[in-house]
Amino acid sequence: MKAKKIQLTRDITITIVAIVLSILSISMISHLTIDSSTDAFIPNQSEVVQVNKTIEAEFGSLDALVLGVQNKTGSILNPHSLSLIQTMTQEIESFAGVHSVMSLTNLDHIDGDEFGMKVVPLFSGVSETEIELMKERLGSWKEIYDSSLISKDQTMASIVVTMEKELPASDQKELMDSINALSTKSNNNGETFTLIGLPVVKQQINESLVSDMIILAPIVGLLIIMVLFFSFRKIVGVILPLITIFFSASIVVALMIIFNITFTMATMLVPVLLLIVASAYAIHVMSHFYEEILEKDGDVSYEEIGLTISSVIKKNKMPIILAGITTAAGFVAQLTSPLSPFRMFGLLSAFGVVISQIASLILLPALLRITYRNGLKKEVIASWKKREAKGSKHIFSNFIALVVIKYKKIFVVVSLVLLTLTIVLIPRIESGTDMLKFFKPNSKIVQDTSLYNDKMGGSGLINVMITHKEGKRILNPTFLAKLDTFESKLEEFNQVGKIQSIAPYIKRMNYMLNKQSVPYQQQEEEEVVLDFFSDSFSFDETAVDNEDELIIEGATLDFDSETYREIPTDPLKYGLSNEADLTNLISQYLVLYSGNLDMLINDTLEPDKTNITIMIKDTGVESTTELTDFINEYWNDETDNYDVAIGGGEAIALALTKLVTKSQIYSLVSSLLIVFILLAILFRSIKYGFIGLIPVAFALMGIFSSMALLSIPLDIITSLLAALAIGIGVDYAIHYISAYRRIERTNGDAAFLVAIMNTTGRAIIINMVSVTLGFAGLIFSRFIPVQQMGILFCISMIAAGLSSITVLPIALQFLHKKTNKEGNK
């Protein structure tokens, strides 16, 4: 009696500590650090990250917000819409965190008159005459305005908001909320508003991430409850495993908070994963416990309950520990990944597995002893036996044994066919992480972005930064002409919607200053005078070569002005001696313009860097790769003089795709290798090491063939599947092989297999259904990749579970017979 009291006191203490720790852990969930962006995945030292930092340092923030203003009933160029855009532009400029705002109502326009070039406001008012003038100006310089600030059909205009550099996520959210509030307040005359851009996508994911987990965890939990109830048909069989499951998941969440581990799109899966994995260990313990209780006749005392629990733990301790070690090892293999969130996912999952093991081997037995502290009456056990419908289990076990023995050749052939099919299908798997595709097609953010892509140049951005190695030669005419040709070739790509660079500005200035007369005549005079606007405008001797002097005259000779819509590359055409003179001439153009070109060149007079922004409508991997390959190939001729660096949001996405593919290969190979070595060591046999990989192989075949057939891409979410499948799939092999080696072989192969199926086989089936339904809960996620992950994992777990009770026994039987033959020899 005293021993019972001591044991119960110890068990109650363990239970209270576990429950208190769980509650404290969950209470801290509001302190999670969340980062949903792909930036969290790219190593800080990677080339594309460094390129983006350099571009931002030279040209300002790359993460722009774009507010589209649409008039569905007609042209946006009407008094009300233009007044609205002007008011909104001015208000947004006053918002905290805004570096600059650009719209139709605050832009400078390069125009010409009888004296040369002049810079005027694009928008001057809302009278009929002023709007007509604005339309004329927009039409005269379409290469700047169309598809970036106004749609070609003139029904939508853009307000482009550049945020301050390195603006914190919380401040970005406040800014976006302010813009959305302003849009709501301004929607009083039929205009509609769409706020797009990478920061909007990131913020939307951030907001959905935690709420998604809050929704998914109960759904997954409910599905596991259903499995537990229908498996054990007892309330106790549901509640006790749930306590251990909840404990394991909550402890890992606490670990993330305590060590300030960022909650990313990868680590968000850890708590849900542990709900499922922890249930597997609890199911094996509970299943064997009830199996042994059902074998007893008469009343069962507390002491017998304790002995039964000890017997169950003794039998299952090693299989659970071995399964935990190999599962954790599969997750630890993620340390080979080049992606930090994947490595953290592996570590957290491995730690969670250890916690789940401890809970199953210590907390769950304590809960069982507390629950059955008064023992069990024979009437209760008798009622359990009736509900278990034991005969049906034998029918199922006999059926599996018969199928395995009778159709083993068919299973082998089918397995080889599936393997061949998977090998053929793997090259068809697409890869790429498009954050916009995380959302459903009918979501507002997708519809807004699609509308903007249809109307404007595209929401995807690629930035090309070109640096002159020899100094400040960006205004060199040869380079600018090459840049102009580069733009023309880019426009031939269907995915390119708009290109922004310094070239159109130079061409516009050149045309306006030379469209009415022959530009220059060489004369031998003592000083140089550049008379663009009046007789008083002049530069000192350093403006041009000291040997030559230039005068701009208003001669009205017969010439074609359209030939001056160009980058000036012919010195003679402009009355100059050499290319250096042309460079100086272009510099003077920029002095006359005096506008803001900070996003295009890093210095007004002597820039050594220029930035080209390419707006694209198709952000797929193939589309982006095609463009980046062309960019590198085009500028390859200039590698002796220019450094070309590609950055922007789509460059990040492309780099991430390559890293994800690399990570998948590394983690897959290392996981398989580690699991194989551990299996071989644990079972002291290389043959058992290979055989133990059979369920894993079927799980992987299910994943990769389904990805190819269902067109599911390899992204930052689905790339975690292989490690998960290996980690969980190997559990089935360990439990089955352990039972195969433990159970005495009597009365032939069929009876032997039936004996395994009645205990371990049944636990595997229950576990398979539990894990499958658990991951089916991911289908309710807001994120499409998480939904796809749920579908793929269901397929892989069914494949692993079924192969472990069919193909695995065939392989074990073959090994057993071969060993016996060798022994007889």
**Highest-confidence segment of 90-94, 395-399, 821-825:** 90-94
CA 264 to centroid of chain Cα atoms: 9
User: Minimum mean pLDDT among 8-17, 206-215, 747-756: which range?
Assistant: 747-756
pLDDT of residue 433: 79
pLDDT band at 88 (very low <50, low <70, confident <90, very high): very high
DSSP calls for 229-252: HHHH-SSHHHHHHHHHHHHHHHHH
Q: Which of 166-170, 204-208, 451-455 has the highest mean pLDDT?
A: 451-455
Output the pLDDT for position 530.
Answer: 45
pLDDT of residue 547: 40
pLDDT band at 749; cut points 50, 70, 90: low
Residue 196 phi, psi (nearest 5): -130, 175
Element (H, E) at 71: strand 64-71
Pick 153 or 279 by higher pLDDT: 153
pLDDT-derived band of residue 705, with 50, 70 and 90 as boundaries?
A: very high
Residue 823's pLDDT band (boundaries 50, 70, 90)? low
pLDDT at 539: 40
> Is pLDDT at 474 greater than 80 in this prediction?
yes
Q: Which of 35, 41, 37, 40 is nearest to 662 (CA)?
A: 41
**Using N-to-C axis directions, what is the helix angle for 721-742 and 340-358, rounded to 10°?**
30
Higher-confidence residue: 355 or 394?
355
- 561: DSSP letter: G
Which residues, 6 or more positions from 264, have their beta carbon under 8 angstroms from its beta carbon? 35, 36, 40, 41, 341, 344
Helix axes 236-258, 340-358, angle to 10 degrees: 140
- Residue intervals of the chain classified under CATH 3.30.70.1320 are 64-196
pLDDT at 231 over 50: yes
Enter the tokens of residue 40. 């969290």
Looking at the chain, which residues constitute the CATH 1.20.1640.10 domain(s)? 1-31+203-375, 389-428+683-825
The answer to whether the CB of 641 falls within 8 A of the CB of 476 is no
Q: Is the pLDDT of residue 825 over 60?
A: no
Instruction: Please report, rounded to a whole number, the percentage of residues in the chain having pLDDT higher than 90.
Output: 36
Name the least confident of 137-141, 233-237, 494-498, 541-545.
541-545
pLDDT tens string 706-736: 999 998 988 888 888 887 788 778 888 888 8
Q: Which 3 state secondary structure label does DSSP give 184?
A: helix
Mean pLDDT of 542-569: 59
Half-sphere exposure of 20 (CA within 13 A, CB side): 6
pLDDT band at 552 (very low <50, low <70, confident <90, very high): very low
Please give the model's pTM, rounded to 2 decimal places.
0.80
Q: Is 204 left (phi over 0), alpha (psi -120 to 50) or beta?
A: alpha
pLDDT tens sequence across 768-786: 887 888 888 888 888 888 8
Task: Report the pLDDT value the prediction gives residue 551, as an integer from 0 to 100.
Answer: 38
Q: Is the pLDDT of residue 820 over 80?
A: no
Q: In the prediction, which pLDDT does 745 show?
A: 58
Minimum mean pLDDT range among 112-126, 246-260, 517-531, 716-730: 517-531
Helix (H) or strand (E) segment spanning residue 406: helix 390-406
Q: What is the pLDDT of residues 1-37, one digit of tens each?
A: 678 888 899 999 999 999 999 999 888 887 888 776 7
Half-sphere exposure of 181 (CA within 13 A, CB side): 9
Q: What is the pLDDT of residue 575?
A: 87
User: Which run of H or E residues covers position 577?
Assistant: none
pLDDT in tens, 312-349: 998 888 878 877 887 888 788 888 888 888 889 889 98
Quick one: average pLDDT of 644-660? 89
Q: Classify burial at 8, counting beta carbons within 10 Å of its beta carbon; exposed 0-12, middle 13-18, buried 19 or more.
A: middle
* More confident site: 519 or 600: 600
Mean pLDDT value across residues 255-274: 84
Overall fold of domain 389-428+683-825: Multidrug efflux transporter AcrB transmembrane fold (1.20.1640)
CATH architecture, domain defined by 1-31+203-375? Up-down Bundle (1.20)
* Alpha helical stretches, state H, 295-377: 302-332, 340-358, 364-371
Alpha-carbon distance 157 to 151, whole Å?
Answer: 6
Architecture of domain 64-196: 2-Layer Sandwich (3.30)
Residues 809, 708 contacting (CB under 8 angstroms):
no
Instruction: Kindly tell me the sign of the dihedral angle through the C-alpha atoms of 47, 53, 58, 63.
Output: positive
